[in-house]
Amino acid sequence: MIVKPRIRGFICTTAHPTGCAAHVREQINYVAAQGAASANGFKNVLVLGCSGGYGLASRIVAGFGYQANTLGISFEKAPAENKTASAGWYNNLAFEAAAKAAGVYARTLDGDAFSDAMRDQAAEVIRQDMGQIDLVVYSLASPVRQHPHTGELHRSSIKPLGEVLDIKTVHVEKGEVSEVSLEPATQEESANTVAVMGGEDWELWMQMLKEQDLLAPGAQTVAYTYIGSELTWPIYWEGTLGLAKADLDRASRAISDNLADIGGSARVAVLKAIVSQASSAIPVVPLYVALLFKVMKEQGIHEDCISHIYRLFSTQLVPGIEQRLDDQGRIRVDDQELSDAVQGAVKQRWPQVTTENLPQLGDLEGFREDFLRIFGFGIAGVDYDAEVDPLGIG
Ligand code: NAD
């Protein structure tokens, strides 16, 4: 079949098999070209949420920057005869094929990472194939979580807290800037969001790995968070998502305590805004990201997903390195996004931006391109008029 993008709101319902493979290859090539990573960095890495965005980039840096064995876990949709798979499904295939060709161990488990059944399966694979894990990357982003003990289905809400929020946003497809009115979350919606995106599941994973003696001495774990600019705080850091992320901070301290006797540690790493499936669904964020990308590109400091994660690993995670932590003990690699020069320029543009001047003040085009790239579209060298088999790569 010939695969074209089919966009519905903030999701693309098709993914291009060869495009996704080429996107993974581009990221591998970027990491391989850095050549600076030490081969002694990581041996066995578990990546939860390995199939896209920051989790995929982490797996690529671990596997191809540090030649680490990786076990990846994700929840993706398989293809059917006439229907493409989700992008992450093709990404996993492409990663595994490239790892195999490079002689690096890679195994992927597809299913619900929030379930005890998946934890059991992962434990079995680690025991049989890897031994002990020295780095666990927690990069899940999901709108729902079925609690493994109560069976309750929690749904997250991306909402402000306290009062109605009137704020600027952009319709990504139409390019129209407008004001939206966002209703505040109820207490129940807030609690559900913490249950989905907070730290409890991370703790359960780390407890299981420790109890089953699957963590190497000095093992590290890192979970990703976003704080961002005051411009997005009302919907992010001071909203339901911020509550969930604060719970991640709580969990990092609890996990660190639990790992102390094996010399291990847990950190939350604060990353920069990028375009991902998860971030595209957050109101206001696409407008902020469009302005941010324009400013960072103008200042020559734009980082994409893979270059950002490479910087995280090589300057903050590699064993023995001195980490740059904030007063909450978080690793900060959002320093460039939050620099005065960048934030000053973005904040100056924010009140001025309209549908008419967005092309001058912002980089919505860059946002759209990155969005399509997530689904394997717009990748250099891919023939999008060629027939492809949705069941595989090629
Ligand atoms: P993403 O949507 O690109 O990837 C999410 C991953 O989670 C995918 O691999 C998906 O398969 C997996 N997943 C979802 N539900 C699952 C389940 N039940 N079981 C197994 N796997 C499941 O997300 P992303 O934007 O890369 O976000 C990853 C983390 O990084 C999140 O914690 C997010 O808050 C954080 N972060 C994102 C940004 C950003 O701008 N995108 C910025 C800073 C921090």
Which two structure tokens, joined as six digits, stand for 117? 């059944």
What's the whole-number mean pLDDT along residues 353-370? 96
The reply to whether ligand 1 has any atom less than 6 angstroms from the CB of 50 is yes
Q: What is the mean pLDDT of residues 318-333?
A: 94
Q: Distance between CA 318 and CA 312 in Å, rounded?
A: 9
Q: Is the pLDDT of residue 90 over 90?
A: yes
DSSP SS3 for 323: coil
Which of 276, 285, 292, when mutated, tests ligand 1's pocket best, judged by the most ligand atoms within 8 Å of its CB? 276
- Does the C-beta of 76 come closer than 6 Å to ligand 1? yes
- CB 139 near ligand 1, within 6 Å: yes
Q: Average model confidence (pLDDT) for the chain? A: 95
**How far is Cα 334 from Cα 303, in angstroms, rounded to an integer?**
11
**In the predicted structure, residue 52 carries a pLDDT above the cut 70:** yes
Indicate whether residue 141 lines ligand 1 (CB < 6 A): yes
Nearest to 38 by CA among 60, 59, 58, 68: 68
Identify whether the C-beta of residue 384 lies closer than 8 Å to the C-beta of residue 4. yes
The fold for domain 7-153+191-281+302-335+369-374 equals: Rossmann fold (3.40.50)
pLDDT score, position 273 = 97
248 in contact with ligand 1, CB cutoff 6 A: no
Query: In this predicted model, what pLDDT tens digit does every residue of 154-206 receive, in sequence order?
Result: 999 999 999 999 999 999 889 999 999 999 999 999 999 999 999 999 999 99
Closest CA to 328 of 386, 247, 384, 389: 247
* C-alpha span between 120 and 150 (Å, rounded): 18
Reduced to 3 states, what is the DSSP secondary structure of residue 322? coil
Q: Report whether pLDDT(394) > 50.
A: no
Residues 90 and 108: beta-carbon distance below 8 Å: no
List the residue whose alpha carbon is closest to atom 28 of ligand 1.
139
User: Catalytic positions, please?
Assistant: 236
How do beta strands 44-48 and 133-138 pair?
parallel
Nearest CA to ligand 1 atom 15: 142
pLDDT over 80 at 393, yes or no: no
58 touches ligand 1 (CB under 6 Å)? no
- Tell me which residue has its CA closest to atom 8 in ligand 1: 49
Spatial separation of the C-alpha atoms in residues 122 and 113, rounded to whole Å: 9
Question: Residue 132 Cα, ligand 1 centroid: separation in angstroms?
Answer: 24
* CB of 279 closer than 6 angstroms to any ligand 1 atom: yes
Could you read off the pLDDT of 227-282 as tens digits, one per residue? 999 999 999 999 999 999 999 999 999 999 999 999 999 999 999 999 988 778 88
**Ligand 1 centre and the CA of 111: distance in Å?**
14
Cβ atoms of 181 and 231 closer than 8 Å = no
Query: Going by DSSP bridges, is the β-strand pair 69-74/153-155 parallel, antiparallel, or unpaired?
Result: unpaired
Which residue intervals of the chain are DSSP H helices?
A: 17-34, 53-60, 87-102, 116-125, 187-197, 200-211, 240-259, 277-280, 285-298, 305-312, 340-349, 358-361, 364-374
If DSSP codes are grouped into helix, strand and coil, which group holds residue 266?
Answer: strand
- Distance (angstroms) between ligand 1 centre and the Cα of 189 equals 20
Backbone angles phi, psi at 146, to 5 degrees: -90, 125
Which atom of ligand 1 is nearest the CA belonging to 279?
41
104 token code pair: 């690096």
Domain residue limits, the chain: 7-153+191-281+302-335+369-374
**What was the pLDDT predicted at 173?**
87
**Diameter of the chain by CA atoms?**
59
pLDDT of the residue at 320: 87
